[in-house]
Amino acid sequence: MQSGEATAHGAVVWARADRPARMLVEVSRRPDFRNARHVRGPVLTPRTDLTGRAFLRGLPSGEELHYRVRLADLDRGLLSAPAAGRLRTAPRTARDVSFVWSGDLAGQGWGINPDIGGYRIFSAMNDLDPDFFLCSGDLVYSDGPLDETVKLPDGRTWRNIVTPEKSNVAQTLAEYRGQFRYNLQDRNFQAFNARTPMLYQWDDHEVLNNWYPGEILDLPQYTEKRVDVLAERARQAMFEYTPTAAPRSGRIYRKISYGPLLDVFMLDMRTYKDPNGPNNSPTSESGLLGRTQSAWLEHELRRSKATWKVIANDLPLGLVVPDGTAQEAAAQGDPGAPLGREREIAEILSYAKHHRVRNMVWLTADVHYTAAHYYDPSKASFKDFDPFWEFVSGPLNAGAFGPNPLDATFGPQLKFHQAPPHANTSPAEGSQFFGQVQIDAESRTLTVRLRDQDGTVLYTKALTPATP
């Protein structure tokens, strides 16, 4: 079980059973569950792969709450032992806030290795006791089969736990579900989930590498060539296996308010993305977000009263991310005026400036190293925006790569980066990263720390809020 979407008034609790069962949840201010409130959750059936979500409403704000889940067998009247967890609800008044973010789990052939303690980066994040975890996408690698052993450059042998679903690329709904079940075997991940609510967004590997709507595959390992069909199966598995309070429309982009100091804007740069190409049109309305999502973001940024607006972008803004000879992200390496998808980003940045949207911070993963970028209009080709920061951190447990070149259109200045010694560096060799954000209630200062897989701080940046 795990929790997610912890707001000032509610949260989601997720669980999976080993048979059809009724999900029963207790929630209390006390760890002994005295005077606990009881919530009758859904029946978990094979229709959802025995997963389900209970919605806790009317919770007290700004408090640490304890919850536990029991499963009631539908046929024999048996009741499972309880599985207990903890979450913090968002405050309504200014209080200190702390969260961690990263992405990319079990990628490039590096899965759960018991010899190194599994996904031990989650233990380092757990030690920081964050209020929530912002998952920046690629929580699973549906296109990344695992071998039982991999030879490392230094002669050691990497050993993976392997399941049938992780032995081939995922194509069926059952195989996409198996990607999520695989990661949930890891004890570090289990312990982290039991204490830390998740805010989840997807990127490409939940479906397959660098996908976009309408794509037709030319890959021999796929018998289903229509990416739209694969994406729909992956989307269903994602909603079944994450503690996400998705609307009936299945929309992924959303805003999560975490008190007067923080609003988190979760973007979806996959569902509405245009095809990957040279990304250099001076006139087309190509983009990563689409018109409806862009308009939503501008509207929500303008009406936000929070001191800090954290924008979770699953693709970076200024880094050039190639897809073969095509381009995957917003930038394409041309340092001049905004072209292609950059035009969509330019419109949002310009809108924010002209409507006095202050204190935007962009957080991403995706490129498998960690970095801090300061976007300076005085050094940009496009100058109609206020300065802002973008921080990059990942992977959680995947091959490490980079660094990627920066595109000068929006004037990004590289303030820090740490990249691996060679492409596809394994977690056994290091170069796994996450980021931590802390907001001080008294000063309203937002401090970002980029950390490695053991929690060691590599870089720190404290940001003072601008006045409205």
CB atoms within 10 A of CB 111: 31
> Is 172 exposed, middle or buried, given 0-12, 13-18 or 19+ CB atoms closer than 10 A?
middle
Predicted confidence at residue 314, as pLDDT, reads: 96
Tell me the mean pLDDT in the region 208-223. Answer: 98
Enter the DSSP assignment of 14.
E
| CA–CA gap between residue 321 and residue 331 (Å, rounded) | 7
Cis before 403? omega within 30: yes
- Distance, C-alpha 374 to centroid of its chain: 22
Residue 239: partners with Cβ closer than 8 Å, 6 or more residues away: 246, 250
| CA–CA gap between residue 373 and residue 392 (Å, rounded) | 8
- For the record, the structure tokens of 39 come out as 């919530």
Cis before 421? omega within 30: no
What's the mean per-residue pLDDT of the chain?
97
Residue 79 sits at φ, ψ, to 5 deg, of: -125, 130
Query: 339, 285 in Cβ contact below 8 A?
Result: no
The residues with which 435 forms a beta bridge, in sequence order, are 101, 450
pLDDT tens figures, 52-69: 999 999 999 999 999 999
pLDDT tens figures, 445-460: 999 999 999 999 999 9
Least confident span in 81-95, 136-150, 186-200, 238-252: 238-252
- For the record, the structure tokens of 369 come out as 């190293």
Check whether 467 has a pLDDT greater than 80: no
Give percent of the chain with pLDDT exceeding 90: 97
pLDDT tens figures, 292-349: 999 999 999 999 999 999 999 999 999 999 999 999 999 999 999 999 999 999 999 9
The residues with which 375 forms a beta bridge, in sequence order, are 388, 412
Query: 299, 255 in Cβ contact below 8 A?
Result: no
Predicted confidence at residue 248, as pLDDT, reads: 66
Tell me the mean pLDDT in the region 199-219. Answer: 97
Q: Which residue has the tokens 């005077």?
A: 35
| Confidence (pTM) | 0.97
Tell me the mean pLDDT in the region 197-225. Answer: 97
| Residue 38, Ramachandran bin (φ over 0: left; ψ between -120 and 50: alpha; else beta) | beta
Query: 429, 420 in Cβ contact below 8 A?
Result: yes
Predicted confidence at residue 76, as pLDDT, reads: 84
CA–CA distances in Å: residue 175 to residues 55, 242, 304: 27, 16, 40
Predicted confidence at residue 468, as pLDDT, reads: 67
